[in-house]
Amino acid sequence: MNPAHDTSTGLDALLRAMPKAELHIHIEGSLEPELIFALAQRNGVGLPYASVEALRAAYAFTDLQSFLDIYYAGASVLQKEADFNDMASAYFQRAAADHVVHAEIFFDPQTHTDRGVPFATVIQGLARACARARAELGISSQLILCFLRHLSEEAAFATLEQALPWRAHFIGVGLDSSERGHPPEKFARVFARCRELGLQLVAHAGEEGPPPYIWNALDVLHVQRIDHGVRCLEDPALVQRLAVEGVPLTVCPLSNVKLRVFGTMAEHNLPALLAAGLCVTVNSDDPAYFGGYVNQNFVETFAALPQLTRQHAYTLARNSFKASFAPPEDKARWTAKLDAAFAAAA
Ligand code: ADE
Ligand code: ZN
């Protein structure tokens, strides 16, 4: 821990206690090894790992694909509506502890429907957990359906068809999975259809993929936020565009280090993204796999990057509300709560 950021400064405590929104969390990436084993037993699914410890020991990733292989294997234990509900309920408990007041949650239906799990099972389990989180924890949430980019656009269209009867249960669509070799333009037509349907649009771009993937996510897919986007700094004209238009980036620092986008947290470009005036947010991506939930991301990032200050903490939390798809009155209420947390800690 950097001495400038130990708890005596209060910054560490403020990072943990400040209200925040989480905008980049794959619900399947919140599946902890203990729950994977419990669900495997409940559903009679065999796992190629002898124990929770052996599974956790396999979490030594070299790049995005090495992670995705294990992540999809872990998701194979999800079969019944109760499994999706239990997974999301466990995430909401962690989110509440981290003072998350609003979460926009990705789910990957194709990971499940391709194994014969009905779309209805997935979305009903998740929606039930979202309703309970609001009632019991006061957390608001929305679901965002992600298309798997390593599959075809035709498969994405088929998924959209399955999803439309459940339109009331999700606010938008995203694009995730293996980035390299699967550029945004591969999904131009399905995103155009989603746009016509009035869905919110986001896409992973510039995590491992180059700046043209970010340009095309904006210009071809017309997304409103970029997930990750950290490689934008390689292209000054792109940075200018993102800054002028205020396009939010949902950055996931622990993920970037675990997947070797950056060698160490001290090398992460979050300070440079903030200095460029970009609307950056901090998120957990796949917290069960990358070493922590959203507060752990804040705390480890600030500990490794001493140039980050209390003002940056405020900006990051405020950006999380600004960049959300929530109604203006909710954003105003959460921002007032954030202001009060900072005033109380002055
Ligand atoms: N699916 C889950 N996590 C992901 C990530 N970090 N990038 C792309 N696809 C993902
Ligand atoms: Zn992601």
- Residue 288 Cβ contacting ligand 1 at under 6 Å: no
Q: What are the Cα distances from residue 265, in Å, to 54, 227, 262? A: 26, 18, 7
Task: Flag whether 200 is in a domain.
Answer: yes
Cα(42) to centroid(ligand 2), Å: 28
pLDDT bucket at 9, cuts 50 / 70 / 90: low
For 284-323, how does the pLDDT look when each residue is reduced to its tens digit (9 = 90+)?
999 999 999 999 999 999 999 999 999 999 999 999 999 9
Nearest listed ligand to the Cα of residue 111: 1
Task: Flag whether 3 is in a domain.
Answer: no
Task: Flag whether 231 is in a domain.
Answer: yes
Report the percentage of the chain scoring pLDDT > 90. 97
Confidence check: pLDDT of 6 > 90:
no
CB 206 within 8 A of CB 231: yes
Confidence check: pLDDT of 2 > 60:
no
What's residue 4's pLDDT?
45
Structural domain of 154: 8-344
Residue located nearest, by CA, to atom 6 of ligand 1: 285
Task: Flag whether 319 is in a domain.
Answer: yes
| The two three-digit tokens of residue 183, written as one number | 């550029």
For 59-75, how does the pLDDT look when each residue is reduced to its tens digit (9 = 90+)?
999 999 999 999 999 99
Nearest listed ligand to the Cα of residue 65: 1
Residue type, position 89, single letter? S
Just list the catalytic residues: 207
Report the percentage of the chain scoring pLDDT > 70. 97
Taking the CA of residue 255 as reference, the ligand 1 atom at the shortest distance is: 6
Task: Flag whether 1 is in a domain.
Answer: no
SS in 3 state form for the chain?
Answer: CCHHHCHHHCHHHHHHHCCEEEEEEEHHHHCCHHHHHHHHHHHCCCCCCCCHHHHHHCCCCCCHHHHHHHHHHHHCCCCCHHHHHHHHHHHHHHHHHCCEEEEEEEECHHHHHCCCCCHHHHHHHHHHHHHHHHHHHCCEEEEEEEEECCCCHHHHHHHHHHHHHHHHHCCEEEEECCCCCCCHHHHHHHHHHHHHCCCEEEEEECCCCCHHHHHHHHHCCCCCEEEECHHHHHCHHHHHHHHHHCCEEEECHHHHHHCCCCCCHHHCCHHHHHHCCCEEEECCECHHHHCCCHHHHHHHHHHHCCCCCHHHHHHHHHHHHHCCCCCHHHHHHHHHHHHHHHHHCC
Q: How far apart are CA 108 and CA 148, in angstroms?
A: 7
Q: What are the Cα distances from residue 132, in Å, to 86, 90, 142, 343? A: 11, 11, 13, 31
Residue type, position 249, single letter? L
* Mean pLDDT computed over 189-214: 98
Q: Please work out, in degrees rounded to the nearest 5, the angle formed at the alpha carbon of residue 136 by the alpha carbons of 326 and 343.
A: 60
Task: Flag whether 2 is in a domain.
Answer: no
For 15-62, how does the pLDDT look when each residue is reduced to its tens digit (9 = 90+)?
999 999 999 999 999 999 999 999 999 999 999 999 999 999 999 999
For 129-162, how does the pLDDT look when each residue is reduced to its tens digit (9 = 90+)?
999 999 999 999 999 999 999 999 999 999 999 9
Top mutation candidate among 22, 31, 63, 64 for ligand 1, by most atoms within 8 Å of CB? 64
What's residue 346's pLDDT?
84
pLDDT bucket at 8, cuts 50 / 70 / 90: very low
Q: What is the CATH number of the domain that holds 292?
A: 3.20.20.140
Confidence check: pLDDT of 12 > 80:
yes
Which value, in Å, is the radius of gyration of the alpha carbons in the chain? 19
Q: How far apart are CA 67 and CA 17, in angstroms?
A: 30
Taking the CA of residue 208 as reference, the ligand 1 atom at the shortest distance is: 7
- Residue 177 Cβ contacting ligand 1 at under 6 Å: yes
Q: Domain tally for the chain? A: 1
Residue located nearest, by CA, to atom 8 of ligand 1: 177
In the structure, ligand 2 is a single-atom ion and the residues with CB under 5 Å from it are 285
Cα(289) to centroid(ligand 1), Å: 11
Task: Flag whether 186 is in a domain.
Answer: yes
Confidence check: pLDDT of 1 > 70:
no
Task: Flag whether 171 is in a domain.
Answer: yes
- Residue 176 Cβ contacting ligand 1 at under 6 Å: yes
Cα(124) to centroid(ligand 2), Å: 22
* Mean pLDDT computed over 271-296: 98
- Residue 286 Cβ contacting ligand 1 at under 6 Å: yes
- Residue 283 Cβ contacting ligand 1 at under 6 Å: no
